[in-house]
């Protein structure tokens, strides 16, 4: 077995400068933004539905659905009545800060309390491109396996919170929660981890209580 | 709901020219290469174990394991006794043709009949970067959902064969095989689709019989 090479191709250019513009846009409008990331099929959209259900009475919520193609997720979210836009990255495997700012302008975040960006399903590039969100929430689903922190460490390092989704399916998978916690602790020891099922709703109250506190605390500091 | 933009950022440069070099390398050595693609956790490595099990008596097999980080998959594969190299893309979310050629040189494909490249877990960029393989095999796993062709159409368009993995877990997911077939047919009507379980082995004989025929037919034409 041979380690073949290390290529550090950084095409992140001025993304960090752009992400400060996003932060300024959000801060001046007192809008808390979450960057929601995870693999294809991890359950990002169904998780958003649960978040909207639990938080819509406390906050005015907006959603930006990023996809390479299609608008199925935005249509699903729009049915809840929250302000929704579909963003097409046209081939790009992640959202960057400039795209996010344009998305926010289309959404018109004015008057909203919290905006959720559902990023492209991908564990690599979304971790590298900071889009200026107040919090990065990562979803890992049980069927993906407990070894993912070893293979996609940056995503686990940069996230502020980890949801372990689809815990209702644990009986049919060899997912070791202790081993997952070990791997995660090595990368990001203080990150809160919430086991949930976006299908049954299990665990969501604990998570959205945490999120609510984060939103209120951010808004208090932002004033 | 608003469609915000279409960005066609093509950083594929001379990848296609490089992929021809890969094809020449493989052709001159009579080595059939498979580019194995799928989401994180779709079951690429366990699928490879099943392929090796079924084909190792007929063909001399080599494996290139591409990962952003870690070498757990290469260690797993190396235990089967087949020639294995670990490739680290160092942050890149896909393999390109140049990386593949370097990987083949490290693997030393001379004397092998078939090489399997396990690409980075990602449904976006690996579809855009042709690495010169004779066949592109895509794995979609049941937990990811039947709507993935709508969201990642290019991957389904460019693939030569689709495995639907983890069919043993179908009872706990709302995966509609008919709907999946409809979506796939619209993008790639002639692509063979094999339902399998890399955990139980179900369906693998049919798939590896197909693969065996493809290898033999390619080698016959290549001479």
SS3 of A87, please? strand
B144 contacts A72? CB cut-off 8 A: no
B125 contacts A93? CB cut-off 8 A: yes
Average pLDDT of each block of 10 consecutive residues along chain A (223 residues)?
Answer: 42 81 97 98 98 98 93 93 91 90 94 97 94 98 97 97 98 96 98 98 98 97 89
Give residue-wise pLDDT tens across range B27-66: 999 999 999 999 999 999 999 999 999 999 999 999 999 9
Domain B23-204 has CATH 2.30.38.10: no
Pairwise CA distance, residues A133 & A32, whole Å: 7
The fold for domain A15-215 equals Rossmann fold (3.40.50)
Give residue-wise pLDDT tens across range B181-210: 999 999 999 999 999 999 999 999 999 999
Rounded to the nearest angstrom, the minimum Cα separation between A87 and chain B is 5
pTM for this predicted structure:
0.92
A144 contacts B93? CB cut-off 8 A: no
ipTM of the complex: 0.89
The residue extents of the domains of chain B are 23-204
A106 contacts B4? CB cut-off 8 A: yes
Question: How many CB pairs below 8 A link A and B?
Answer: 189
SS3 string, B121-165, reads CCCCHHHHCCCCCCEEEEEEEHHHCCCHHHHCHHHHHHCCEEEEE
Task: Give pLDDT, residue A11.
Answer: 55
Report strand pairing: B61-67 vs B114-118.
parallel
């Amino acid at each position: 077995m041979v380690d073949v090479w290390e290529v550090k191709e950084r095409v992140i250019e001025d993304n960090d400068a752009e992400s400060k513009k996003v932060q300024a846009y959000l801060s001046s409008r007192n809008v808390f933004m979450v960057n929601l990331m995870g693999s294809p099929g991890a359950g990002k959209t169904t998780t958003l539905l649960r978040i909207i259900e639990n938080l819509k009475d406390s906050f005015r919520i907006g959603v930006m659905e990023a996809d390479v193609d299609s608008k199925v997720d935005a249509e699903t979210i729009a049915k809840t009545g929250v302000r929704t836009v579909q963003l097409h990255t046209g081939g790009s495997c992640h959202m960057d800060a400039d795209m996010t700012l344009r998305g926010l302008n289309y959404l018109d975040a004015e008057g909203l309390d919290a905006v959720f960006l559902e990023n492209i399903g991908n564990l690599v590039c979304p971790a590298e491109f900071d889009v200026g969100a107040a919090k990065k929430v990562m979803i890992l689903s049980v069927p993906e396996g407990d070894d993912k922190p070893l293979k996609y460490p940056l995503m686990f390092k940069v996230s502020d919170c980890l949801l372990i989704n689809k815990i209702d399916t644990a009986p049919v998978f060899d997912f070791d929660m202790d081993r997952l916690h070990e791997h995660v602790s090595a990368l990001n020891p203080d990150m809160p981890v919430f086991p949930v099922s976006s299908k049954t709703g299990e665990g969501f109250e604990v998570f959205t209580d945490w999120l609510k506190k984060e939103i209120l605390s951010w808004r208090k500091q932002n004033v």
